């Protein structure tokens, strides 16, 4: 089955950057901070490209939701190998349920056969959008994929669970979220960066979807994690148990 694959991607603080909390503790500092594509989404783009190279897909569409600066992330997706891009422009920080509602609208318009997306974004670590999108679409889903194989209208997905690996079979259209061990993303080459500038990138105002974007949660405060104290060397198991019980109070 030759189909269209949609890959939602997100612009986040680069994973090599040490995250700093704003002075007013309202959130994480993003001004003058290096931003990049969410690593899990980069894996999703790579997997879509590999499926197209294997003759399983004919078009890859990347989509992101955010300010105009997010177009840089879309251009990266196009340079990696996506065919075209959609930018849903909004200045608001949307919660996963609102992102899922927007993605459903786009998927309905584009008639995609498969959605591949990162299992979570490294900024909020919600791990919710993929599952919510599958529920809204009423499509089967497979999360934390470490291997994806397509055969006809079915997808065999190996996923990581607490006890090891589990293989599930989905009938497409379906939603798959990617884990780190699915693949190793390719590097963006300069020629492909130049080609990406000529690929179509459409901008759609988020307000045009006529959805309710009112937040359901309120962030009261963001703070740095407490500093770890220095360790000590105990002389016996009895002393270790005593300190865990009476000082750390982690056992009874």
pLDDT of the residue at 78: 96
Calpha distance 43→187 (Å, rounded): 12
157 within 8 A of 167, measured Cβ to Cβ: yes
Calpha distance 83→89 (Å, rounded): 20
Phi/psi of residue 189, nearest 5 degrees: -95, 155
| Binned average pLDDT, 10 residues per bin, the chain of 252 residues | 88 89 84 90 96 92 93 94 94 90 93 93 90 96 94 91 91 94 92 92 92 85 82 88 85 77
Class of the domain covering 3-225: alpha beta
Q: Please give the structure tokens belonging to residue 79.
A: 């340079």
Q: Please give the structure tokens belonging to residue 237.
A: 């198991």
pLDDT of the residue at 229: 77
pLDDT of the residue at 2: 66
How does DSSP assign 80-91, residue by residue?
A: HT-SEEEEEE-S
Calpha distance 111→156 (Å, rounded): 21
Calpha distance 90→167 (Å, rounded): 38
């Amino acid at each position: 089955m030759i189909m269209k694959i949609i890959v939602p991607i997100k612009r986040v603080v680069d994973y090599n950057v040490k995250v700093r909390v704003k002075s007013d503790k309202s959130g994480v500092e993003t001004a003058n901070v290096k931003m990049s594509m969410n690593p899990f989404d980069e894996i999703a783009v790579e997997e879509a490209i590999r499926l197209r190279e294997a003759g399983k897909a004919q078009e890859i569409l990347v989509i992101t939701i955010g300010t105009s600066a997010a177009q840089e992330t879309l251009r990266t997706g196009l340079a990696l190998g996506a065919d075209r891009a959609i930018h849903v422009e909004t200045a608001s920080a949307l919660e996963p349920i609102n992102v899922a509602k927007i993605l459903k609208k786009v998927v309905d318009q584009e008639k995609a056969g498969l959605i591949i997306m990162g299992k979570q974004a490294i900024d909020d670590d919600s791990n919710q959008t993929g599952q919510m999108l599958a529920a809204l679409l009423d499509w089967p889903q497979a999360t934390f994929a470490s291997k994806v194989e397509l055969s006809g209208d079915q997808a065999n997905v190996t996923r990581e669970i607490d006890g090891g690996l589990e293989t599930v079979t989905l009938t497409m259209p379906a939603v798959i979220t990617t884990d780190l061990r699915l693949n190793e993303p390719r590097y963006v080459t300069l020629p492909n960066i130049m080609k990406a500038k000529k690929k179509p990138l459409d901008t759609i105002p988020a307000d045009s979807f006529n959805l309710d974007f009112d937040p359901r949660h309120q962030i009261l405060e963001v703070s740095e994690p407490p500093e770890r104290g220095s360790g000590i060397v105990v002389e016996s198991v009895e002393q270790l148990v005593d300190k865990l019980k009476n000082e750390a109070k982690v056992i009874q």
